[in-house]
Structure 1
């Protein structure tokens, strides 16, 4: 822990509110700049993984449309479809598990390969719930409590959006003004849930904001929408923990909430993976796995 006599070049310590310490005696040293940038990277990557998934779905929809046009032109009808054009373009983004394995392979003589996602399309499984690719984004899932891919995407996007929008400067307030976020104030029945193109655009917008902070000198970043630079900046979280009681408040930090949004997104990726599998569009092995799960699997092999 840095001492109070650190030089001017040392990042200052931030003392959490007294209610979060034992008699106010504890202080927390600021993270290194490399660690800080990596949190922005992880958050941006989670949004990028979602964009890659939706782009894969869009490509599958285009392939389906082309196949239908081919059948119409040839007059073969549904029975004339060979299935080749209906083969999905699977989600091929660099998953966290793949990156971890490649990183380990650089240090070990025999890199772990058990969790490397397939590189080429595989035979599609028989769908549990038949569904046209053009309907996949909005069709309710039988296995996932009538949820849809679109609703899960909107939900995980809302958490990032609310964290960024409540940053005081985005409300015309001073950066040191009290920062309060309430993830329960989410949007519902909005274009994010039904419009694939709009969803891709909004996810890419937030991803770009985070990537603008992933620079060698964060002080030179000029994002289109300001977000916190100090990961230890205090944030008050308002949450409804019981519908029969008023909301409660917890003291947290921007860095902790940014990490929560990233891990929360992974949870919904897992649900989206179930829905895609139900509709006969399998995703890669690493999609929807938490970092701790990936780490545990790598260590056990």
Structure 2
């Protein structure tokens, strides 16, 4: 497997590790607590949403068909951080298996406006970036709760690299 493919798998591992770090410390109460924002978000809703996208991609590697609208929406992962952690462990095993897969594998991609094709590599990039976005929102939801959240949570790797270059 080429360097670029290994990097995208590693990027996904890093994002899931950040999510695990948060899940290991957040209380069930804070995990389920809804904010009076549009959609009444909670940490659990964001975590479940991220995991749903990973699960759909995983299923697509078996079927060849990807449609993020068909997400599983596991209520258990939305209400219990321990269940979310179990899902992450499964996803980590799946990512490890991808090290022996052609990431240019074509997926039939269905979306609201039609259909097209995408590659597994492209979709791994998407779910990693999607996770970054939701980690930023989770960070905002937990900001006032006193947790020691990872500084990298919610900051894309390209932004981190940019900051490193600027600091030189």
Task: Please state if 1:296 is matched with 2:162.
Answer: yes
Q: Report the Cα distance in structure 2 between the residues aligned to 1:180 and 1:259, rounded to whole angstroms.
A: 17
CA shift, 1:180, in A, is: 1.7
TM-score by length of 1: 0.51
Tell me which residue corresponds to 1:232: 104
Task: Please state if 1:267 is matched with 2:133.
Answer: yes
Q: Report the Cα distance in structure 1 between the residues aligned to 2:68 and 2:79, rounded to whole angstroms.
A: 21
The count of corresponding residues between Structure 1 and Structure 2 is: 167
Tell me which residue corresponds to 2:68: 183
* 8 Å Cα contact 1:143-1:274 kept in structure 2: no
Q: Report the Cα distance in structure 2 between the residues aligned to 1:230 and 1:196, rounded to whole angstroms.
A: 32
CA shift, 1:48, in A, is: 1.9
CA shift, 1:189, in A, is: 5.9
**Which residues of structure 2 form unaligned runs of 5+?**
none
Tell me which residue corresponds to 1:257: 123
* Larger helix share, 1 or 2: 2
Tell me which residue corresponds to 1:128: none
CA shift, 1:292, in A, is: 1.7
Offset from partner CA, 1:171-207 (integer Å, 9 cap, x none): 5xxxxxxx22000112336111012211111111111
Of 70, 91, 104, 1:206 maps to 91
CA shift, 1:143, in A, is: 5.1
CA shift, 1:46, in A, is: 1.5
Q: Report the Cα distance in structure 2 between the residues aligned to 1:184 and 1:213, rounded to whole angstroms.
A: 23
CA shift, 1:250, in A, is: 2.5
The structure whose RCO (Cα within 8 Å, separation 6+) is larger is 2
Q: Report the Cα distance in structure 1 between the residues aligned to 2:55 and 2:118, rounded to whole angstroms.
A: 18
Tell me which residue corresponds to 1:157: 51
SS at match of 1:300: helix
> Structure 2 matches for 1:41-60, cutoff 5 A?
41-57=10-26
CA shift, 1:293, in A, is: 1.3
Give the root-mean-square deviation of aligned CA atoms: 2.0
**Which residues of structure 1 form unaligned runs of 5+?**
1-31, 58-132, 172-178, 219-228, 241-246
TM-score by length of 2: 0.88
Q: Report the Cα distance in structure 2 between the residues aligned to 1:164 and 1:202, rounded to whole angstroms.
A: 12
* 8 Å Cα contact 1:276-1:282 kept in structure 2: no
Task: Please state if 1:147 is matched with 2:61.
Answer: no
Tell me which residue corresponds to 1:111: none
SS at match of 1:293: helix
* 8 Å Cα contact 1:140-1:148 kept in structure 2: yes
> Structure 2 matches for 1:49-198, cutoff 5 A?
49-57=18-26, 133-142=27-36, 145-167=39-61, 170-171=62-63, 179-188=64-73, 190-198=75-83
